[in-house]
């Protein structure tokens, strides 16, 4: 099975609109590699600006979170129709920072995943263990639980249309990425788990991204792993040169 490489940049809480326009334009201008799906996920306030800068390019636009209701009295929240209106095709769901810092539960992640699919956005569903959980040899248990809860209510067709991201929390923003072997071990386990829950076809079509201190330097060896299909990049996506370096490295595996 050939799965198209997918490189997504999660800008987190960075970039004013002016900075966002400059970064998006530089990414569009510098993008060479064909055959790789590329996405940027700026903060909400920069979505329309970045959509404008990306117009006519093959860089896709995603948001970093979404609420499951379409509208209503949910102060501070943003809905799927609003994200589509802003030009998004994708949305990150269940990022560990949302889970850890904002108390997002597996149930909330499942509702957001469902809402995204129903509303026509591709969810990029994030899972991953803490350092303590890894040290207690509970990585697979935690990751499988998160995958199971997020995918439980999805039909096989729905499940094959999403993207998963494995982001071990100890590797996020630490400069200490998982080794290619560590990433592959978990990616393979996730793929086997999805094969049992949703079937072999879904499992082999499903793209699983790795996230956590991905840099141009380590992308190639991560990408060389059979079950690593791309990356969800944080810090290194905030400058065009390093993000484009990662895109390029992902194509040369
Ligand atoms: P870093 O690349 O900064 O480690 O962040 C990874 C991440 O959380 C992407 O969503």
pLDDT per residue as tens digits for the range 118-151: 999 999 999 999 999 999 999 999 999 999 999 9
Report pLDDT for 252. 56
**Residue entry with tokens 């699919």:** 117
pLDDT at 222 over 50: yes
Catalytic residue among 129, 133, 144, 167: 167
Expressed in angstroms and rounded, the spacing between residue 173 Cα and the centre of ligand 1 is 6
pLDDT digits (tens, 9 = 90+) for 204-216: 999 999 999 999 9
Q: Is the minimum distance from the CB of 40 to ligand 1 under 6 angstroms? A: no
pLDDT at 253 over 50: no
pLDDT digits (tens, 9 = 90+) for 229-244: 999 999 999 999 999 9
pLDDT digits (tens, 9 = 90+) for 139-191: 999 999 999 999 999 999 999 889 999 999 999 999 999 999 999 999 999 99
Cβ neighbours of residue 124 closer than 8 Å, sequence gap 6 or more = 8, 62, 90, 91, 92, 93, 162, 163, 164, 165, 209, 232
Instruction: Determine the angle formed by the axes of helices 180-198 and 216-223, rounding to 10 degrees.
Output: 50
Expressed in angstroms and rounded, the spacing between residue 218 Cα and the centre of ligand 1 is 14
Of 12, 183, 209, 212, the one to substitute when testing ligand 1's pocket (max ligand atoms within 8 A of C-beta) is: 212
Give this prediction's pTM.
0.97
Q: Which atom of ligand 1 is nearest to the CA of 214?
A: 2
3-state helix, strand, coil in the chain (%, to 5): 50, 15, 35
Q: Is the minimum distance from the CB of 213 to ligand 1 under 6 angstroms? A: yes
Q: Is the minimum distance from the CB of 9 to ligand 1 under 6 angstroms? A: no
Return mean pLDDT, the chain. 97
Asked if 67 is an active-site residue, the reply is no
Q: What are the distances in angstroms from CA 240 to CA 22, 90, 245?
A: 9, 20, 8
Catalytic residue among 95, 104, 133, 146: 95
pLDDT digits (tens, 9 = 90+) for 58-93: 999 999 999 999 999 999 999 999 999 999 999 999
Asked if 95 is an active-site residue, the reply is yes
Mean pLDDT of all residues in 216-229? 97
Report pLDDT for 159. 95
Mean pLDDT of all residues in 16-38? 95
Report pLDDT for 2. 83
């Amino acid at each position: 099975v050939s799965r198209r490489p997918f490189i997504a940049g999660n800008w987190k809480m960075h970039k004013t609109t002016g900075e966002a326009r400059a970064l998006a334009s530089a990414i569009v201008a510098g993008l060479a590699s064909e055959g790789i799906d590329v996405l940027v996920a700026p903060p909400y306030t920069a979505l329309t600006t970045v959509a404008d800068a990306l117009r006519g390019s093959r860089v896709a636009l995603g948001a970093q979170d979404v609420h499951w209701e379409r509208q209503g009295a949910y102060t501070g929240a943003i809905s799927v129709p609003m994200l589509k209106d802003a030009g998004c095709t994708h949305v990150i769901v269940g990022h560990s920072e949302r889970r850890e810092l904002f108390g997002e539960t597996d149930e909330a992640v499942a509702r957001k995943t469902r809402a995204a699919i129903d509303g026509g956005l591709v969810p990029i569903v994030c899972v991953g263990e803490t350092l303590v959980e890894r040290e207690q040899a509970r990585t697979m248990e935690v990751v499988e639980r998160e995958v199971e809860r997020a995918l439980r209510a999805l039909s096989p067709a729905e499940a094959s249309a999403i993207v998963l991201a494995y982001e071990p929390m100890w590797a996020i923003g630490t400069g200490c990425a998982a080794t290619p072997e560590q990433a592959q071990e978990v990616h393979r386990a996730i793929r086997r788990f999805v094969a049992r829950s949703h079937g072999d076809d879904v499992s082999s079509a499903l793209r699983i991204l790795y996230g956590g201190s991905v840099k141009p330097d380590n992308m190639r060896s991560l990408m060389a792993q059979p079950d690593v299909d791309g990356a969800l990049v944080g810090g290194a996506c905030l400058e065009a040169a390093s993000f484009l370096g990662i895109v390029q490295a992902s194509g040369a595996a």
